[in-house]
Structure 1
Amino acid sequence: MLFTWYFSSHSITHPTYFIEDEIADRTIINVIQSRRSIFGMLFIKIIVQILLDLVKAIPLFCLVALVQQIAFPTDWVVTFVTFLLSFVVIASLYGLGFLFASFSFVFTKISSITSLLAYGILFLVGFQEQSSHLIATLTRFLPFHLLVSFIRQPSWFVLLLLLGYGLIYWLLGYLCFQTCLTYAKKKGSLFHV
């Protein structure tokens, strides 16, 4: 779950950082005028960032597991499936990241809010028992509880729910992204001037 939280915190923040950088550098207009979509350009940047993060994270988390004497499952299939499902959760949350990033077209400094959200997600991952009814309720809006449930007791139903979360997040993220981008272009406020 620590591995999933690490990548999930990036999935909430990186799309916003990338959009804000493109707006600040004034390169977003070049992307708009090219044949490649902004959404596609961000997607490629995210893939590269995930690969870089994997190079850093896997050795680090293996070292943490060795120091903490965490026992890995002896069944490699279970480990591989758990690893893949972690990336399903991470990919799902990138859809949510695109939702937040879309507000960068309309407002400034959205990355400050997403940074706070990324740290707030730490309390919703499921490391510890939920201390309040509010936190337990908020946890249900994120797919972490389903990943924990699947790790404890694999189920096709939980797998389908995880995929459903991802589909909902990506639909919301994509629709909001396109709506805010169109609004900013029509209003002429893409650079917040």
Structure 2
Amino acid sequence: MNILIIYAYPNTTGYTHAILNTIQQGIEQQNTVKTIDLYKENFDPVLVFNKSKRRRDMQFDKETAVYREQISWADHIVFIFPIWWGGMPAILKGFIDKVFSKGFAYSYKGLFPIGLLTGKSAWIITTEDAPKVYKTLFQQDYGTVLKKQVLRMSGIKKVKHFSFSSLKNSNEKQRQVFLNKLFTRSSKLTA
């Protein structure tokens, strides 16, 4: 299976980076894997619209063509990122705004969106310092927004979401249990 990892975290020694390493070790055993590390690649998340860069032409943008090609190539997409201020990192939001464009990821039939990335599946893995109860009662989880709004609208219906809440209050054993769970699941990802 062709698996694309889209990773958005700037610290190469943090727990979210340990998640990336764990996932890569698990899936590389039986699959073809590519990783987009948005911070390492210095991805520019800023949208620019002017006379030469129009929103309706984003599906043809040369700057993001390589990312559209990788998404088209992938059978399964894994998103790994922390939840900051109830949302995904700005670099990932900008990536979605620029790459998951109309004409590439979705179109419209009358008033209704039609997903163009059908036949793919996805896995969202998020970390956050907030306790799960806080997330449930007070803030919207952007992992869920990504699943229900962006990916579903793009035609990706089979999406799993794993979240590690209360990261700052967790101990080493709890973190290792979550990594083990991720490794087991990732090593079972095959066509």
Does 1 or 2 have the higher relative contact order (CA < 8 Å, sep 6+)? Answer: 1
Q: Which of 1 and 2 has greater Rg?
A: 1
TM normalised by structure 2 equals 0.28
Greater share of helix residues, 1 or 2?
Answer: 1
Greater share of strand residues, 1 or 2?
Answer: 2
TM normalised by structure 1 equals 0.28
